[in-house]
Amino acid sequence: MACTTFQWTAPTAVSCALYTEIHLLADGAFSAPSGVIDNENLQYEYIDLEVILGALSPAAGAFVDIWTLQSIDNGTSYADCGKSLQTSTLLTTAPLDTTASTAQRIVLSNVPIAPLKQKLVLRNKAGVTIPNASALRYRLHTEQGI
């Protein structure tokens, strides 16, 4: 019986999903959706996310979370946005450091992603408004048997 070894494939190039959509995003608010990530054709298994926040002073227990709006009909319609009780579309959560007036860069790696067309949305639960110079970036990857 032969054994299969698995290794990561080369990731896609880093892309910016959200930029101006999260500038001055109020606490508790959802951003506008990103452009489409066409994973229906690409079929990557994982997404790596990078949350970049300009200098802010988050409240205790602060976080941002990333949601995915998925389409099962090849991009004709997408899941509802901004409904925090529909947690099936919650992709991941990033706790924030509460050190005052500091910028933050948080990497969330190997987050499973469905083989569908989808858009990303960020919800701000930092306790303060997200400043300019903030972004959500991503890249996709998978594993392969060799």
Q: Collapse the DSSP code of 117 into the 3-class scheme (helix H, G, I; strand E, B; otherwise coil) and give the result.
A: strand
Q: How far is CA 74 from CA 17, 111, 113, in A?
A: 19, 22, 16
User: Is 107 part of a structural domain of the chain?
Assistant: yes
Token representation of residue 37: 């990530």
pTM summary value: 0.92
Q: How many independent structural domains does the chain possess?
A: 1
Compute the distance between CA of residue 75 and CA of residue 57 in angstroms, rounded to an integer.
38
Write down the pLDDT at residue 119.
95
Q: Which domain holds residue 100?
A: 7-145
The CATH code of the domain that includes 134 is 2.60.120
Condensed to tens digits (0 to 9), the pLDDT of residues 73-128 reads: 999 999 887 776 777 789 999 999 998 899 999 999 999 999 999 999 999 999 99
CB atoms within 10 A of CB 62: 20
Query: Residue 84 gets which letter from DSSP?
Result: T
